[in-house]
Amino acid sequence: KVNYQVWKSDTTAGDVSFQLEEVQVEDMRVVYYESEGRRDLDAHIGTGVFSGDIKSQQYTLTADAQLTTASYKAGEVVYLANKPVELQASMYADHVTDLFTFSNTHIRLSGLDLSLNGTLENKENGKADLVLESNGSDLRAVFAFLPGSFHKTIDAYDYSGSVEFRC
Distance CA(51)–CA(69), nearest Å, equals 22
pTM over 0.95: no
**Mean pLDDT, all residues of the chain:** 82
Looking at residue 8, what is its pLDDT?
A: 52
Q: What amino acid is encoded at 10 in this protein?
A: D
- Which residues of the chain carry a pLDDT beneath 70? 1-18, 165-167
Instruction: Return all residues near 56 (Cβ < 8 A) that are at least 6 apart.
Output: 17
What is the gyration radius of the CA atoms in the chain, in angstroms?
18
Looking at residue 2, what is its pLDDT?
A: 53
Cα–Cα distance list, 167 to 44, 106, 129, 154 (Å)? 28, 15, 10, 21
Looking at residue 15, what is its pLDDT?
A: 55
Looking at residue 16, what is its pLDDT?
A: 52
Give Dmax (Cα) for the chain: 66
Helix or strand run (H / E) with residue 142: helix 139-143
The residue among 6, 1, 4, 11 whose CA lies nearest residue 122 is 1
Looking at residue 155, what is its pLDDT?
A: 79
Looking at residue 126, what is its pLDDT?
A: 84
Looking at residue 17, what is its pLDDT?
A: 57
